[in-house]
Structure 1
Amino acid sequence: MPRLLVLLAAVLTLAGCGANAEPTQAIPSSSPSATASATPTTPPPSSKASTVSTSVDETLVRNRLYSTGRLARTSCTLPTKRLATKTAISRYSTVLVACLNRAWRPSIERSGNYFAPPTVQIVEADHVSPCGQADDASAFYCSENSAIYLDWEYYADEDPDQTPIRIEVLDVLAHEYGHHVQHLTGILGFFDSRTDGLSGKALWPDTRRMELQATCLGAVFQGANRRTLNLTGERLVYFSILQEQGDEEPPFDHGSPESNEAWTGAAFASGDPKSCNTWTAPAAKVS
């Protein structure tokens, strides 16, 4: 079995934040610096959300992110060195996140929010972040310090065929960056406030909407920049395989394979955040 599929079984069964494992404030989930925005806008909300007093319709359903238009296309030349060492994975991740910054910054500013880039932390397993420890998470996003964490040992791969692992790291970082977009636009903070006090199965429905949206936003970036990312041929095949993954057993917090494929398919085709409003979708579409 290709390494890609083996890894996905572990990645997509994680709860909540990025790696799909991202602790948001205190909720685990699966999944380069730049100067401040040249356009004075509203500073990013804290992880506890300055959106507490904002209505759910404004923050989730009618967020201005959905009306910002197609994501910017950006030139992105990723390092070609084999992803077998911490240094190589760190370099690849840093360059990729810089590409994500360039693509997402115009959309964030058009939404009326302040753009601030995330940092990339290349760590070992069970690393403790300001958001806590995401056990067994291969990657996660922490809104407390706007950082994407990646367990480099999990992704290190000596295989001469680097296509699967390169597409996998591309996809997981795009997903985690999706959580950063949610943070900058108030969605993640409102989610934290909305679900405060919930746990277990009671948390799953909203968590699925949040995670499916992050995955969808990741596909927006990859679709809008499919040419510079060379998502054709074999690389597109591996990308498509990743989008067919989903929850097969509890916790059901990242969405079914069918839901993941549907949201990412639409987002990849449009390259537009408007394809990612999971908060208005009927329950069957975010199962």
Structure 2
Amino acid sequence: MLWRGRRQSDNVEDERSDTGGSGGFGGGSPGQFRIPIGGRTGGGSSIFIVILVVLAGWYFGFDPSQILGGGDSGGQITDDSGSEGGGAGAPASDEMKQFVSTVLAETEDTWKGIFQANGLTYEDPKLVLFSSQIRSACGFASAAAGPFYCPGDHKVYLDMTFFQQLDQQFGASGEFARAYVIAHEVGHHVQNLTGILPKFNNMRQGMSEADANHMSMQVELQADCFAGVWAHYTAQKGILEQGDIESALNAAKQIGDDTLQKKMQGYVVPESFNHGTSQQRQTWLARGYKSGKLSDCDTFNNPI
């Protein structure tokens, strides 16, 4: 991924020197939407039209390629802001933080273009770097939980040691595998802004565990598809290198529910799946990447 020298986001909060505090939050909250790194993960549900209504008027049938176009200028809504990497507000010097800040900036540019095309304002999420443990509006979390998005404070939380784990433990190496992880969590932010996550959190309170797990899969797979849409326009800018998409697809495979459960406990429990199988995650990521159309990310009306 040709990321060096590109704009870096100033929406990265570095809390790595902070232990995250103690007490008050218990073991975390079901409001967190995270990359799974263990055997069993949180909840989801059956198909409900109300979620689709949230997106009416701008989501389904809209082709962002008409607005973002191709080439290096596609989606670069904020390039004239003067906030370039290396300036007064540039991130600290360590390279991985610069990488994360650049990927976040690329997601900002793409999603701002899509939102503005429909007369909407995209609110940039914050990305919080932490070590070991952190407090969020969704509760107290440790690095062992993996990266997550908290709808309560519109922030993505990331302990960058997860990238080492992704490479060494799960066999998902490559810069674009890491970029996919960030883009997936930003996909949850898009869902939050459009009302999908609030609806889901309200609806799952009265659901059975099986129904909640199913809807959670729909939400997670849509975030994978949104990550693919972002990758589509990133490729048009000439940023991607040979093997980048394959790297992201491999990452999606390695963090599928079935693959993780088999690796962690030696067997799978399909009824507990709530992020999607390896095949499903790869399919939806590839679907978003191939078309670049949000209308192709309708996980709620398509079989999963």
Question: Which stretch shifts more, 86-95 or 209-218?
Answer: 86-95
Tell me if structure 2 keeps the 8 A contact 1:65–1:108: no
| Pairwise CA distance, 1:217 | 0.2
- Say yes or no: does 1:145 pair with 2:153: yes
Aligned to 2:194: 185
Counterpart selection for 1:209 from 196, 209, 218: 218
Aligned to 1:4: none
Q: Which deviations, in whole Å up to 9, do the C-alpha atoms of 1:103-123 show, x marking residues without a partner?
A: 111222344543210011001
Counterpart selection for 1:247 from 257, 260, 270: 257
Aligned to 1:264: 285
| Pairwise CA distance, 1:271 | 1.0
Question: Which stretch shifts more, 247-256 or 118-127?
Answer: 247-256
- Say yes or no: does 1:27 pair with 2:22: no
**Matches of 1:207 and 1:134, distance apart in 2:** 20
Q: Which deviations, in whole Å up to 9, do the C-alpha atoms of 1:144-195 show, x marking residues without a partner?
A: 11111111222259x9xxx934122200000001001101111111111121
Aligned to 1:174: 183
| Pairwise CA distance, 1:242 | 2.2
Q: Which deviations, in whole Å up to 9, do the C-alpha atoms of 1:12-52 show, x marking residues without a partner?
A: xxxxxxxxxxx997433324xxxxxxxxxxxxxxxxxxxxx
- Say yes or no: does 1:69 pair with 2:43: no
TM-score normalized by the length of structure 2: 0.66
Tell me if structure 2 keeps the 8 A contact 1:114–1:184: no
Aligned to 1:105: 112
Question: Which stretch shifts more, 206-215 or 65-74?
Answer: 65-74
Equivalence map 1:276-287=2 (5 Å): 276-282=297-303, 286=304
Q: What residue identity is the alignment partner of 2:148?
A: F
Q: Which deviations, in whole Å up to 9, do the C-alpha atoms of 1:47-72 show, x marking residues without a partner?
A: xxxxxxx9444126x46223332253
Question: Could you say if the C-alpha distance between residues 227 and 131 of structure 1 is closer, same or farther in structure 2, counting changes exceeding 3 Å?
Answer: same
Tell me if structure 1 keeps the 8 A contact 2:146–2:159: yes
Tell me if structure 1 keeps the 8 A contact 2:177–2:244: no
Question: Could you say if the C-alpha distance between residues 178 and 262 of structure 1 is closer, same or farther in structure 2, counting changes exceeding 3 Å?
Answer: same
**Matches of 1:179 and 1:24, distance apart in 2:** 18
Aligned to 1:58: 53
Where does the alignment leave 5 or more consecutive residues of structure 2 unmatched? 1-26, 36-48, 69-73, 87-91, 262-268
Which SS does the other structure have where 1:121 is aligned? strand
Q: What residue identity is the alignment partner of 2:62?
A: T
Q: What residue identity is the alignment partner of 2:154?
A: S
State the number of aligned residues: 229
Question: Which stretch shifts more, 98-107 or 148-157?
Answer: 148-157
| Pairwise CA distance, 1:210 | 0.2
Aligned to 1:131: 138
Where does the alignment leave 5 or more consecutive residues of structure 1 unmatched? 1-22, 32-53, 80-84
Which SS does the other structure have where 1:237 is aligned? helix
**Matches of 1:266 and 1:24, distance apart in 2:** 32
Question: Could you say if the C-alpha distance between residues 94 and 229 of structure 1 is closer, same or farther in structure 2, counting changes exceeding 3 Å?
Answer: farther
Aligned to 2:265: none
